[in-house]
Amino acid sequence: MAEVIRLTGVSRSFPTDPPVFALSDVSLRVQQGDYLAIVGPSGSGKSTLLNTLGLLDKPTKGTYALDGIETTTLSDRARTRLRGGRIGFVFQSFHLLQHRSVVENVMLAEIYGAHPRRGRRERALAALEQVGMGHRVEFLPGRLSGGERQRTAIARALLGGPSLLLCDEPTGNLDTGNTAAVLDLFDGLREQGLTILVITHDDEVSSRAKRRLRIVDGLLHEDS
């Protein structure tokens, strides 16, 4: 099995006074198709870890290989390209543009990569089919339920065929029924070989993952 994530001795400190040690000597290996949930109290380093894995932030110490590519020595430009091609992000507050249709919102995911314009709409429509939103492609986000908004955001994250889906409290704004639908969707995506990492406070969400990890004061532990 291919290794998607290899973090080795990763620390991230912020040079405040006094300094904050948001991640301390974190090591983590994730195989293709893994499904991980990360839980931890507020301020424990969850977002810092997600930003690090998503190449939005850089460790102050240690190494991070994504799909076998060492990222800490890459230029900013190369990191951005790698992020655009291999990582999809899903957030608690869907971040959809209110005056753009569902399909336009998904198409916007390709703006930042080196993707050909040709076929963009078709790729967006295929991603929307994949998340069960094929019947809502011309809707504006304001007319969608919370679950439909999040499925649109997931379709946007899937555009470009990422190897890793990083989710920060993806069900935090959803009721029980919509949470269940999103979790079913994650199960299906994982069966198709996608690697999923979810930060969550919700036991229902973490219990669906294959691996559960806990972060406290920047230290990461795996529950066995």
- The item of Mg ion, ligand ADP, none sharing an interface with residue 44, based on CB under 5 to 8 Å by kind, is ligand ADP
Q: In the bound complex, what is the minimum distance in angstroms from residue 49's beta carbon to ligand ADP?
A: 7
Is-contact 182 174, C-beta < 8 A? yes
Taking the C-alpha atoms of residue 210 and residue 169, their distance in angstroms, rounded to an integer, is 17
In angstroms, rounded to a whole number, what is the distance separating the alpha carbons of residues 50 and 47?
5
Q: How many CB atoms are located within 10 Å of the residue 130 CB?
A: 18
Q: At 58, which amino acid appears? A: K
The footprint of ligand ADP on residues 23-82 (CB under 6 A) is 40, 42-48
- Please give the residue ranges that form the binding site for Mg ion (CB under 5 A): 46-47
For position 112 contacting ligand ADP by CB under 6 A, the verdict is no
Between 11 and 47, CB nearer to Mg ion: 47
Nearest to Mg ion of 58, 100 (CB atom): 58
Does position 170 interact with ligand ADP (CB under 6 A)? The reply is no
- Contacted by 43, from ligand ADP, Mg ion, none: CB < 5 to 8 Å by type: ligand ADP
DSSP 39-95: E--TTSSHHHHHHHHTTSS--SEEEEEETTEE-TTS-HHHHHHHHHHHEEEEESS--
Min dist. Cβ of residue 106 to ligand ADP (A): 27
* Contact present, 31 and 194 (Cβ < 8 Å): no
Distances (CA, A) of 211 to 31, 86, 103, 119: 11, 21, 33, 37
For ligand ADP, the closer CB: 44 or 152: 44
The label of the residue with tokens 């009721």 reads: 175
CB of 86 vs ligand ADP, minimal distance in Å: 22
Using CB under 6 A, which of the segments 15-23, 136-144, 179-187, 200-208 binds ligand ADP?
A: 15-23
112 binds, among Mg ion, ligand ADP, none (CB under 5 to 8 A by kind): none
- Rounded CA-CA distance 82/86 in Å is 6
Whichever of 17 and 76 has its CB closer to ligand ADP, that residue is 17
Smaller CB separation from ligand ADP, 22 or 165: 22
Contacts to ligand ADP by CB under 6 A: 14, 16, 20, 22, 40, 42-48
